[in-house]
């Protein structure tokens, strides 16, 4: 039972009920109790796989809470699958049938119980599911329709007891249900029949075969006991109402107008993605392709869509020419095309016209609200729109380099200055600020945090139902305040406005990871990848999660998947080298890194090369390289330049140039301290100050900084970055002659998933303990030797 503190939040609620239990109790009380206990054990084993929290049992029923509608639905499907499998070999009198209802809504925790509309509605719809069935509300169906490989059957209008608002309800159609329904008539005694009867029987047999095939495919999707963390889903049928929008070709004589073509493409895609009846692939998966590629069927297969939209944009002064064409990918047939010639001030309506025409071609059903959303003009100010498109182009670039984020922020500030009522621009400005604050791509100052909050609130005031604004508010709570519960509330709320947005499950994956809910994070990553299968940043974060978990084979497979999209990517190859370092395979890491020539702003790859040289204890070549980079530091990198200077000092120290090392560390500390006043809670900066003071022998100052870092991001609040500070503490204690403190920290860290303190963030492993010079003072300690997996760690 849960004893949650009193709180109000958005949650998915599942009610389950064991069918026929009361009647069985009257007939055979002993058997009823036996089956009840078996039912409870089976369901209680499944709930945790989907991060379900059992609130209470009510006789033969369960009330369970989930963080998302998707997790609740997947749990419900797994329960019914497991029971179907169990019942297949059980006699009739020992069958266990359960019906399940799922709804998402506001709930309030009070005194270990949960109350609210979310609970009331879930309890009312559960009886409508029928034995072995799952009934969900419209809110749940809308959120999961593109995320689960099942069909939905809309139920006839039903009045729910004590629920005044009419609701659309849906039944999840499970493959084994269809199989049973079709095959049953074939088992009856045959009668004399006409030719019509023969045809009907034949059709039934064909339908049965199709259902059996569908059942086989479904089993391969969910697996006999497949956990939610399964990472290689089986191929699935491509929905007919699905589309990807390829990059628009820039036909302008001025190639600087590429941002304009990118922006028009994204605005059309954004409108399409707000149509819940469509599956729309995110731009981050399509940006790797040409505007009009030759291998459309293959691209469509990789993206999982039936249709492709191609286009071109030509801008000359205030005149704009846009050409678009819709193609059925399997046959390369042109279904529809149109050209638009507009003045810049009249360009705003084109995106909506294109989206509406495509929806009509694909026979997508539009709600009244969706029609209004896709037709809405974001602004009437062409200067504001131009600045917005420039900012958007930087946000859409792969990676979150400081230069890109700074340029996006600058242009978006101009957009809202030109038009203070430009809600979408305010939302994107808030999202950019919060992203920059989280990643330190922008200096994480109080002023930046306040701008992120104000921009999100301004957007919501202008348009309360703007999905981008709700998403931005969630990003503010996640990135700036680390208030993960509130962030999840806004992300889930944004789903109803952005049904095809991969950013929502991606954001939920990041939150779950910070909360230490690694399995739940993987479920969200799976959902995001279905909508955005070739998003390099998303795939990279998925790989980093595997690295944090020390699931190195899976991480390597994911990194290889990225290299298939962006061959020879420096950061991806550096991440692979990090894994080989963590496994103790320095020769293999060296072979990868030798071919890399990272630029000055590829700091992650550069630090990986330096760390490799330090682990090998042959740092001379990297000393020269770092000195070249730091001779002309990139101002956009901020305090990261000083971090590189710390690595320079470390390399010099390992090489025996202790005087040079001290000078590098003194300069690094001076630079780092200059950033501290504006960024007092930047735990990355605090960690660098800890290590720099450690290197200079300033023990008291170093411990003071690590204490501040640990207070800024405690493990209990952040399971991803919190342990990083514990690693910094272990390194500090090792170097400062406190072995007991160092060993205690390492004993916790060695089996804990987290983002490591060095280079690209690989957590400590026994191999790294054996190789890293910072742990040299612990070499002769038997406790350390045990952790390092060697009796003579060198």
Q: Determine the 3-state secondary structure of 292 from DSSP.
A: coil
pLDDT digits (tens, 9 = 90+) for 479-538: 999 999 999 999 999 988 888 889 999 999 999 999 999 999 999 999 999 888 888 889
pLDDT at 187 over 50: no
What's the start-to-end Cα distance of the chain, in Å? 49
Instruction: Output the six-digit token pair for 38.
Output: 């078996």
Percentage of the chain exceeding pLDDT 90: 44
428 within 8 A of 470, measured Cβ to Cβ: no
Give the CATH number of domain 238-267+274-354: 3.40.50.10610
Which residue's structure tokens are 């399940």?
Answer: 100
Mean predicted confidence (pLDDT) in 306-321 = 85
- What confidence score (pLDDT) does residue 87 get? 87
Q: What are phi and psi of 69, to 5 degrees?
A: -65, -35
Alpha carbon 186 to its chain centroid, in Å, reads 46
pLDDT digits (tens, 9 = 90+) for 654-668: 999 999 999 999 999
pLDDT digits (tens, 9 = 90+) for 750-785: 989 999 998 778 999 999 999 999 999 999 999 999
pLDDT at 794 over 80: no
Instruction: Output the six-digit token pair for 634.
Output: 């990139």
**Per-domain boundaries in the chain:** 7-173, 238-267+274-354, 568-788
pLDDT digits (tens, 9 = 90+) for 8-59: 677 889 999 998 887 787 788 888 888 998 999 999 999 988 888 888 887 7
Instruction: Output the six-digit token pair for 711.
Output: 């207070």
Q: Is 0.85 topped by the overall pTM? A: no
Percentage of the chain exceeding pLDDT 70: 87
Mean predicted confidence (pLDDT) in 121-127 = 86
- What confidence score (pLDDT) does residue 182 get? 33
**CA dist., res. 149 & res. 772, Å (int):** 47
96 within 8 A of 86, measured Cβ to Cβ: yes
Mean predicted confidence (pLDDT) in 452-475 = 95
pLDDT at 439 over 70: yes
- Which of 128-142, 382-396, 753-767 is modeled with the greatest confidence? 753-767
Among residues 139, 167, 171, which one has the least CA distance to residue 155?
171
**What is the CA angle 84-24-160, rounded to 5?**
70
- What confidence score (pLDDT) does residue 335 get? 85
**What is the CA angle 554-557-559, rounded to 5?**
110
Q: Which residue has the higher pLDDT, 726 or 314?
A: 726
555 within 8 A of 579, measured Cβ to Cβ: yes
246-250, 577-581, 718-722, range with the lowest pLDDT: 246-250
Cβ atoms within 10 Å of 335's Cβ, excluding its own: 14
208: pLDDT confidence band, cut at 50, 70 and 90? Answer: very low
Does domain 7-173 sit in CATH 3.30.70.1230?
A: yes
Among residues 74, 173, 191, which one has the least CA distance to residue 129?
173
Q: What are phi and psi of 135, to 5 degrees?
A: -115, 135
629 within 8 A of 675, measured Cβ to Cβ: no
pLDDT at 244 over 60: yes
- What confidence score (pLDDT) does residue 727 get? 97
Mean predicted confidence (pLDDT) in 723-730 = 96
Which residue's structure tokens are 């507009």?
Answer: 342
- What confidence score (pLDDT) does residue 159 get? 62
259-268, 559-568, 641-650, 710-719, range with the lowest pLDDT: 259-268
pLDDT digits (tens, 9 = 90+) for 285-295: 887 776 667 67
Q: What's the fold here for domain 568-788?
A: 1.25.40
- What confidence score (pLDDT) does residue 782 get? 95
């Amino acid at each position: 039972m849960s004893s949650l503190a009193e709180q109000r939040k958005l949650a998915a609620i599942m009610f389950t009920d064991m069918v026929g239990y009361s009647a069985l109790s009257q007939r055979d009380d002993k058997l009823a109790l036996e089956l009840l206990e078996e039912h409870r054990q089976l369901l209680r084993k499944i709930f945790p796989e989907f991060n379900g929290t059992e609130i209470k049992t009510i006789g033969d029923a369960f009330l369970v809470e989930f963080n998302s509608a998707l997790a609740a639905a997947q749990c419900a499907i797994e329960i019914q699958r497991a029971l179907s499998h169990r019942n297949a070999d059980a006699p009739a009198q020992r069958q266990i049938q359960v019906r399940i209802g799922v709804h998402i809504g506001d709930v309030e925790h009070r005194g270990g119980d949960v109350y609210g509309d979310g609970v009331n509605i879930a309890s009312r719809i559960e009886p409508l599911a029928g034995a072995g069935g799952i009934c969900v509300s419209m809110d749940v169906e809308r959120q999961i329709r593109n995320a689960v490989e099942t069909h939905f059957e809309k139920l006839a209008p039903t009045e729910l007891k004590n629920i005044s608002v009419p609701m659309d309800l849906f039944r999840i159609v499970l493959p084994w249900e269809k199989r049973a329904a079709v095959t049953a008539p074939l088992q009856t005694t045959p009668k004399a029949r006409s030719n019509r009867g023969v045809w009907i029987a034949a059709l039934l047999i064909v339908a049965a075969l199709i259902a059996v095939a569908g059942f086989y495919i479904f089993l391969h999707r969910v697996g006999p006991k497949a956990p939610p963390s399964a990472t290689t889903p089986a191929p699935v049928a491509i929905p007919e109402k699905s589309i990807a929008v390829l990059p628009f070709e820039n036909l302008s004589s001025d190639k600087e107008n590429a941002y304009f073509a990118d922006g028009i493409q994204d605005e059309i895609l954004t409108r399409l993605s707000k149509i819940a009846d469509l599956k729309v692939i995110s731009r981050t998966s399509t940006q790797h392709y040409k505007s009009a590629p030759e291998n459309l069927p293959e691209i469509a297969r990789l993206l999982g869509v039936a249709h492709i939209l191609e286009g071109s944009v030509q801008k000359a002064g205030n005149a704009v020419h846009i050409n678009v064409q819709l193609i059925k990918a399997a046959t390369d047939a042109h279904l529809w095309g149109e050209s638009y010639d507009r003045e810049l001030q009249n360009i705003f309506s084109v995106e909506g016209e294109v989206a509406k025409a495509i929806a009509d071609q694909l026979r997508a059903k539009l709600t009244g609200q969706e029609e209004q959303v896709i037709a809405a003009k974001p602004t009437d100010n062409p200067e504001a729109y131009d600045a917005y498109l420039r900012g958007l182009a930087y946000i859409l670039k792969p990676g979150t380099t400081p230069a890109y984020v700074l340029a996006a922020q600058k242009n978006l500030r101009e957009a809202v200055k030109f038009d203070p009522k430009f809600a979408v621009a305010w939302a994107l400005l808030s999202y950019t600020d919060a992203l920059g604050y989280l990643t330190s791509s922008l200096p994480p100052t109080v002023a930046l945090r306040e701008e992120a909050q104000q921009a999100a609130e301004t957007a919501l005031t202008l348009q309360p139902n703007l999905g981008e604004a709700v998403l931005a508010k969630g990003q503010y709570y996640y990135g700036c305040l680390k208030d993960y519960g509130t962030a999840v509330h806004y992300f889930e709320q944004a789903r109803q406005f952005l049904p095809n947005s991969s950013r929502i499950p991606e954001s939920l994956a990041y939150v779950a990871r910070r909360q230490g809910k690694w399995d739940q994070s993987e479920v969200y990553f799976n959902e995001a990848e279905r909508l955005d299968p070739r998003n390099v940043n998303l795939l990279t974060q998925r790989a980093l999660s595997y690295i944090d978990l020390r699931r190195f084979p899976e991480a390597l497979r994911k990194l290889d998947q990225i290299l298939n999209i962006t061959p020879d990517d420096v950061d991806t190859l550096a991440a692979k080298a990090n894994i080989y370092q963590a496994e103790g395979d320095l020769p293999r890491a060296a072979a990868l890194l030798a071919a890399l020539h990272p630029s000055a702003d590829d700091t992650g790859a550069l630090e990986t090369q330096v760390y490799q040289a330090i682990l090998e204890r042959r740092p001379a070549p990297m000393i020269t390289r770092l000195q070249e980079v730091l001779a002309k530091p990139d101002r956009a990198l901020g305090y990261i330049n000083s971090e590189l200077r710390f690595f320079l000092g470390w390399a010099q120290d390992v090489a025996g140039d202790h005087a040079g090392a001290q000078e590098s560390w003194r300069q690094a500390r001076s630079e780092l301290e200059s950033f501290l006043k504006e960024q007092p809670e930047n735990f990355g900066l605090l960690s660098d100050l800890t290590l720099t003071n450690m290197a200079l022998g300033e023990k008291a100052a170093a411990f003071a900084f690590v204490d501040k870092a640990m207070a800024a991001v405690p493990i209990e609040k952040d399971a991803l970055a919190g342990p990083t500070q514990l690693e910094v503490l272990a390194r500090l204690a090792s170097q400062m002659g406190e072995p007991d403190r160092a060993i205690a920290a390492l004993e916790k860290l060695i089996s804990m998933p987290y983002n490591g303190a060095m280079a690209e963030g690989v957590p400590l492993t026994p191999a790294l303990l054996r190789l890293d010079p910072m742990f040299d003072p612990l070499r002769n300690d038997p406790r350390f030797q045990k952790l390092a997996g060697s009796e003579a760690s060198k």
